[in-house]
Amino acid sequence: MVTTRNTREDVITAAGRLFASKGYHGTSMRDLGRELGLRGSSLYSHVTSKEDLLVAVVEQGAGHFEASAEAALGSSDTPIEQLRALIAGHVEVLLDRSDAAKTFLYEAESLDDDRRSLIIGARDRYEQVFRDVLAAGARDGTFSADLHPKMAAIFILSILNAVERWYTSDGPLDRNGLEQEIARFVEKSLV
């Protein structure tokens, strides 16, 4: 059996796992050490503080959603297809990067004020992408002209974020089916 020293990356990954499942306050540095097979105090050769770890995980999560939004916008010129790509991309971040995504969505409030503001800014920019696509669709006739883009964006993101709370890939609904159920429900509301 080969044993290798942990890297900073390993520490951040494990921290994401624990923060996502037990919360930031519910995770101790000793818990995290145990997860990696070392003492809590040894973690301080990789990070300067526990909050430093939270920052790293939350920024990863923000980055994944940002990248997904950018890819979705570039994938098509039509609002309806951009919206579908946004929905599919969000689901994929939530399922494939679930630790970072959940920590980004739910544990950022444990950051100090300055850093929390940065993360809220990232969330706002991401929501703005949805709003812009919806507004473009309302202008060009894809969606109803009396659509409220701001409300619709909030409602769509509400549905998307909640996926993490109920969906399991063990059930009858596969990932593609999930994305289609959401897109179907949402699109009916928009026309």
* Contact set with DNA (CB under 7 A): 4-6, 27-31, 33, 36-42, 44-46, 48-51
By the rule CB under 8 A, 186 interacts with a second copy: yes
CB atoms under 10 Å from CB of 187, counted, come to 16
- Number of residues forming the site for a second copy (CB under 8 A): 23
128 counts as binding a second copy under rule CB under 8 A: no
Chain position carrying tokens 């920590």 = 103
Compute the least distance from the CB of residue 94 to a second copy, in Å.
13
Q: Which is nearer to DNA, 42 or 98 (CB)?
A: 42
Neighbours of 185 (CB within 10 A): 11
**128 touches which of DNA, a second copy, none (CB within 5 to 8 A by kind)?**
none
23: left (phi over 0), alpha (psi -120 to 50) or beta: left
Binding to a second copy (CB under 8 A): which residues in 142-181? 148, 151-152, 154-155, 157-159, 161-162, 166, 181
The interface partner of residue 63, options being a second copy, DNA, none and the CB cut-off 5 to 8 Å by kind, is: none
Would you put residue 127 in left (φ > 0), alpha (ψ -120 to 50) or beta? alpha
Determine contact, residues 28/40, Cβ cutoff 8 Å: yes
How far is the first Cα of the chain from the last one, in angstroms, to the nearest whole number? Answer: 59
**Residue ranges binding a second copy (CB under 8 A):** 23, 25-26, 110, 148, 151-152, 154-155, 157-159, 161-162, 166, 181-182, 185-186, 188-191
